[in-house]
Homo-oligomer: A and B are copies of this chain.
Amino acid sequence: MPHAAQRRPLRADAQRNYDRIVSAARDVFARDGAGAALKEIARQAGTGSATLHRLFPSRRTLLEAVFHDRVEDLCAMAARRAAENEPGPALLAWLGDLNAYASASRGLAASLLQDGRDADLLEQNEGCQAMITNAVRGLLRRAQQAGAVRPGIRAEDLLALINAISLATEHHDDGEQADRLLDIAIQGIRGQAV
């Protein structure tokens, strides 16, 4: 049962198509990557392609719908890391969470973090981009106040860096490379003593 964040409720048949498309998209994105053919998704969902384009005006909208729940989990995890750890370790551990998720979903989440220049998605502050940005901002602010992080580091930079790592390691047999790159990044983020 997907989440119910809809402007106004859809007619029953429209909602059915919506759900089928999201479900098909989950499979096809996982199989073919974030650049998968939308027509193939519509085909597997058993709907016309125009239906897909009306319900999801851009590829990004569809990705948002597919990953919304997971991103919520990630933000909940951020709160838990903050509650259970010192500020520095909380941030670093959560960057590990984010990286693990991004790697597991074959860099798909990365497609969400990129740019984010989708007018109406920014207005309503619900997009995955906004949710994740808020989560990392909170962790980063506390870590900076504790002096656990080098000065001059921005929240967007941290997201971009994890994003970058999962993008670059997406097509790679060496599954551990993402971990090694994250390790380098973390060493570059932390202050003298953590």
Interfacial residues, chain A to chain B (CB-CB below 8 A): 110, 114-115, 150, 152-154, 156-157, 160-161, 163-165, 167-169, 171-172, 177, 180-181, 183-189
Cα–Cα distance between A35 and B73 once the two chains are bound (Å) = 34
With A164-B169, A185-B188, A187-B189 known, 9 other A-B pairs at CB within 8 A are: A150-B184, A160-B177, A161-B164, A161-B181, A164-B167, A164-B168, A164-B181, A167-B167, A183-B188
In whole angstroms, how far apart are the Cα atoms of A80 and B12 in the complex? 68
Q: Please, which residues of chain B bring their CB within 8 A of the CB of A171? A: 114-115
Which of B161, B167, B168, B177 contacts A184 (CB under 8 A)?
A: B161
Q: Which residues of B contact A163 (CB under 8 A)?
A: 168
Contact A114 B187 (CB under 8 A): no
Partner of A165, one of B114, B154, B164, B183: B164
Cα distance A150–B190 in the bound complex, in angstroms = 15
**Which among B154, B165, B181 is the interface contact of A180 at CB below 8 angstroms?**
B154
The CA-CA distance from A188 to B163 in the complex, in Å, is: 17
**Would you call B157 and A181 a contact (CB within 8 A)?**
yes
The residues of B that contact A185 with a CB separation of less than 8 Å are 184-185, 188
Residue of B nearest to A188 (CB): B188
Tell whether A160 pairs with B187 under 8 Å between CB atoms, given A167-B167, A168-B167, A172-B115. no
B168 touches A180 (CB 8 A): no
For A183, list chain B residues within 8 Å (CB).
188
With a cutoff of 8 Å between Cβ atoms, the chain B residues found around residue A152 in the complex are 180
